[in-house]
Amino acid sequence: MKYNYEICNVYFGENFYESHGQIHEINRDNQTVLDYFIWDNKEKRLLNPSGLDDGFIDAFNTEIKNKKVTVNKNGILADGVEIVHIEDGKITAINFPTVTHIGDKFLRHNNSLRELNLPSVSTIKNEFLRFNKNDIKINMPNLIRVGNDFMSSNTDLVKLYLPNLKYVGNDFLYRNIKLIELVLPNLIQVENDFMYYNNRLIELYFPELVQVGYRFMNCNDSVKKVCAPNLERIARLFMNNNKCLTELEIHSVIHVEDGFLANNNLRDKFLFNIGGQKIKNKDEKESQYRVDMINCERKGLV
């Protein structure tokens, strides 16, 4: 029998799941497979045969609270509004208009989602949509804070616009190999390994960014320009191994750690000060940082 997911040794197909060698046919009159969950319309509850810890469960239950839930051939509706769209037992679209918080590992194993509408969500915890394999159309206009591994290793995401995102955890958008457009106009602070291994972005503008963790944007093979005019604090290994970087605008920096712009194969070589601090590296050779244009204009430095 063909199955869509294997979760904790439980196999899920369009109309069944298999656990410990036993096949369980769902009751098609009352039950609907949603990825690796089962909605029981008679009991009005979401079943979780694998016991998986997934933020989707709490978000779904929050969205249906005190609402009339119905089912049709395309998905689940709450008070007549479709909240989950399904195809062949797989979740392809989610619309949770009232949910404000998303917990850990939200649909971490999903590989079919194409549309996500979370207009009221302001906070998301760890491993949100990790390993998704589609270019997802995302609407999260009020998102402010995300935890670790936010959409990391999404192989086909092309564009992402999060207009009010301010704070992100570790491994944000790690290994998004097809991402070509990222807009984060209100981003203030990022933790470690921000956008590590992304190789199609060309220009990035972070007008409100103030602080970055270590290995910020390491190994981005295509980035040519980064502008962060309010960036003040930079942890170690900032933009290491960015072979195409030609323009960096950081006007307000006051603290920089080791490995700043190390291994960037650009044309001009010179030492410079940023915000009054001499940039040095433990290896004297690596202190010859390579850049074409460095605009560090605070107090007329450089």
Question: Over its length of 302 residues, how does the chain's per-residue pLDDT go in tens digits?
Answer: 789 999 999 999 999 999 989 999 999 999 999 999 999 999 999 999 999 999 999 999 999 999 999 999 999 999 999 999 999 999 999 999 999 999 999 999 999 999 999 999 999 999 999 988 889 999 999 999 999 999 998 889 999 999 999 999 999 999 888 999 999 999 999 999 999 988 899 999 999 999 999 999 998 889 989 999 999 999 999 998 888 888 888 888 999 999 888 887 653 443 344 554 444 444 444 333 333 334 444 333 33
Amino acid type, 130: R
Tokens of 264: 């960037």
Contacts of 235 (CB under 8 A, 6+ apart): 192, 212, 213, 214, 215, 216, 257
Give residue 243's pLDDT: 81
Q: Is residue 123 part of a domain?
A: no
Q: Is residue 111 part of a domain?
A: no
CB 142 within 8 Å of CB 121:
yes
Residue 238 exposed, middle or buried by CB count within 10 Å (0-12, 13-18, 19+): buried
Q: Is residue 284 part of a domain?
A: yes
Give the span between the Cα atoms of 43 and 110, in whole angstroms: 25
In order of 43, 55, 95, 100, 108, the CA distances from 82 in angstroms are: 19, 19, 7, 18, 22
Contacts of 242 (CB under 8 A, 6+ apart): 217, 218, 219, 220, 221, 223, 261, 264
Q: Is residue 29 part of a domain?
A: no
Give residue 265's pLDDT: 61
Q: Is residue 97 part of a domain?
A: no
| Residue range of the domain that includes 242 | 202-302
Cα 235–Cα 240–Cα 246 angle in degrees, nearest 5:
110
- Looking at the structure of the chain, the number of domains it has is 1
Q: Is residue 181 part of a domain?
A: no
Give residue 264's pLDDT: 78
Give residue 93's pLDDT: 98
